[in-house]
Amino acid sequence: MRLTLILAIFSASLVLSQDRCDAAKTVIKCHNVTEIMALESSECQPYHIFIARGTDEKSPGRQGNVTRLICDKLGRERCGWEGLDFPAKSRFVGQKAWCESAEIGVKNGQTQLHTYAARCPESKLILLGYSQGASIVQDMLGGGGGHFWKCDQASNRALDRQVSPGSNIVAAVTFGSVARSGGQPYAVKEGREFNGTRTRTPEQVRGLNQYASQLRDYCNFGDPICARESQPQSLQNHLTYFELYSEEIVSWVVKTVRKSEYRSLLSSPYWLIGATLFFVALSWSVLYFYSSFRRSFSRGAYYLLPREEGTP
């Protein structure tokens, strides 16, 4: 009896986890989900998501599902994604493979951002990166490069927050980053205080901090990639980000995108012109009413004054 129950629960959870294309397994299937692939686009859209996938993932990788959920909230017709063009090679296929792959990801990723933002200057850009892709997204924003496992990744410059495409970025989320510095204000979850496989240089941290209010960096305790010193470690902690946090990721991204929209509305020249006209009109009417009130008051007061003999 008890065995049947356990078996039933086991097979139910198996079915449940098989339903997800972003389950905590090494093989994932988001590229097989029609609704996710239908959102892949290079068109100019109000919201455009760049996905930097993890090592060995087939595009769009685990982040495909959360991407679809974000687009559901922002409006399916107004939102889509493109993958960063890079090999996502593993360090296990060769000593230099990981660094070469990440280097290509950073270079192509920055080029893709420049190209898209130049072509679609009104679009709001969102960046998602997992594992190797997380490292790439942080490198693209804040500058990157350095020594990893048994290779060296060439250094690259940060993207200036003040000019396009940096100024078009409204939200970025990274999960289980390879190169990462712990204890930053945008780091979340129990691995947040720990450093990654490689710690970012102070200059890279400064570069990334330009984006502090648009950025969220997920790191689980015991994730051997992003929180190397946290014990005990298990690869499982590196695979569960999307099963655990999809819903909060979606609401954070949507909230952050909306905040940037209010900010740009407030700083737009139309708002300033409108506000100025409004205050001019307001002070003019206040003055008008005040002076006509004074005029009628003094006239009324005149009739109220005790009259002296001989005055009309």
Ligand X SMILES: *[C@@H]1O[C@H](CO)[C@@H](O)[C@H](O)[C@H]1NC(C)=O
CA gap 15, 27 in Å, rounded:
15
Residue 61, interface with ligand X (CB under 6 A)?
no
Which of 155, 233, 246, 260 touches ligand X by CB under 6 A? 246
Closest CA relative to residue 141, chosen from 217, 223, 220, 247? 217
Closer to ligand X by Cβ: residue 18 or 276: 18
Find the shortest distance in angstroms from Cβ 175 to ligand X. 14
Of 81, 86, 194, 218, the one binding ligand X (CB under 6 A) is 194
Strand pairing class (169-175; 124-130):
parallel
Residues 33, 37, 97, 254: which binds ligand X (CB under 6 A)?
33
Cβ nearer to ligand X, comparing 60 with 166: 60
Q: Is 213 exposed, middle or buried (0-12, 13-18, 19+ CB in 10 A)?
A: middle
| 32 near ligand X, judged by CB under 6 A | yes
Does residue 193 interact with ligand X by CB under 6 A? yes
Residue selected from 182, 191, 207, 224 as contacting ligand X according to rule CB under 6 A: 182
Select from 16-24, 38-46, 113-121, 276-284 the region that touches ligand X (CB under 6 A). 16-24
* 264-293 residues near ligand X, rule: CB under 6 A: none
DSSP states along 40-51:
B--S--SEEEEE
**Which residues make Cβ contacts (< 8 Å) with residue 52, sequence separation at least 6?**
83, 84, 86, 105, 109, 127, 128, 129, 130, 132, 133, 134, 136, 137
| Shortest Å, Cβ 68 to ligand X | 7
Interface stretch with ligand X, choices 13-21, 271-279, 285-293, 297-305 (CB under 6 A) = 13-21
> Which CA distances in Å does 205 have to 35, 44, 75, 142, 230?
37, 31, 34, 7, 21
> Is residue 195 at the binding interface for ligand X, with CB under 6 A as the rule?
yes
- The contact mask relative to ligand X for 91-130 (x = CB under 6 A, - = no) is ----------------------------------------
To the nearest 10°, the Cα dihedral for 159, 161, 167, 173? Answer: 80
Distance of closest approach, residue 81 Cβ to ligand X, in angstroms: 15
Distance CA 30, CA 217 (A): 22
Angle, vertex CA 55, rays to CA 53 and CA 57, nearest 5: 60
The answer to whether residue 58 forms part of the interface with ligand X (CB under 6 A) is yes
Tell me how far CA of residue 119 lies from CA of 94, 112, 221, in angstroms. Answer: 37, 11, 41
State the minimum distance, in angstroms, from the CB of residue 181 to ligand X: 6
Binding mask 220-239 for ligand X (x = CB under 6 A): ---------x----------
Interface contacts to ligand X, rule CB under 6 A:
19-22, 29, 32-33, 58, 65, 69, 182, 193-195, 199, 229, 246-247
